[in-house]
Structure 1
């Protein structure tokens, strides 16, 4: 089964496949390279989101890994990151455990139910943790798509072409 098609620059850098100049030129012409001249934050982002967007774009441009087609995906990543932070801060303000009263099933002398208390997990924290997990997964997937995680960067690294072997200056003198 054939592997995923790789850019010609990567194939050349690996040095494992011999291609003629004509094959290289043909591959370069057929590769899709999206322009990156209009990578600007969408208007629906807030000021802080636009700042985060521009910061990320600056980093992605340095490694030539963003194009005009990526604007919406990056905007979604920035929004998910901000929402994740908001939910995390809200959870931090909530107590994990709360005291809840429950009916013991017994009655006092006047016929009223006897209540007791015990600690239970705060249901608000539970719901917020589910939302936090969803935002975390969105952030992780978006970051992986843009090479912003360690494992995704490892897949993006283009190997250096092997250096030519050093010549032995004494070889010709004693041969």
Structure 2
């Protein structure tokens, strides 16, 4: 199914765009969101991660849990992100050690020809695949600022202090 991704009710309300949602729809939607959220009681780094990866997992899981966008269901996804990121760093370091091209003496006259380093090309393809994996996972987990902005509830400035007339005038002014 194509189209926009469904935003959480709190985000829609925070943006002030919940006029098209009835109270009953809002209650039902909130009930569904609460049901889908999942619990956070079993968040622990998987055993296949290294010690350093487990430390990074714990740091990221803590921050994501505090934001309210991480649950037990996301544990393996975060672990795979960390694993892909670790492999990306290894490949990038390996690429820095080698040159993209090689010069070889071809004939008896000493003519030098430049050829692409085949190992460099395959490492570059691997790096690009790992980068795409990391970027996709980071976006899904809310690790990038743009993905967090889609998930985090915007704060409404001082609306509760406004009189009904001030709210009406503000709304009318933004529609003009």
Asked if these proteins are the same fold (TM beyond 0.5), I'd say yes
Structural mapping, 1:70-109, within 5 Å: 70-103=74-107
The corresponding residue for 2:139 is 144
TM-score by length of 2: 0.76
**RMSD of equivalent CA atoms:** 2.7
Of 43-52 and 74-83, the range deviating more from structure 2: 43-52
Rg bigger for which structure?
1
**Alignment match of 1:48 (pick from 31, 47, 52):** 52
The corresponding residue for 1:35 is 39
Contact map agreement 2:7 2:150 (CA 8 A) in 1: no
Larger proportion of strand: 1
TM-score by length of 1: 0.77
Q: Deviations over 1:43-98 (max 9, x none)?
A: 11111111111111122112111111101111110000000000001011112322
Question: Structure 2, unaligned stretches of length 5 or more?
Answer: 165-176
1:117: how far off? Answer: 2.1
Contact map agreement 2:91 2:123 (CA 8 A) in 1: yes
The corresponding residue for 1:130 is 125
The structure-2 alpha-carbon separation of the partners of 1:98 and 1:79, relative to structure 1 and needing over 3 Å to count, comes to same
Of 45-54 and 80-89, the range deviating more from structure 2: 45-54
Aligned pair count reads: 159
Larger proportion of helix: 2
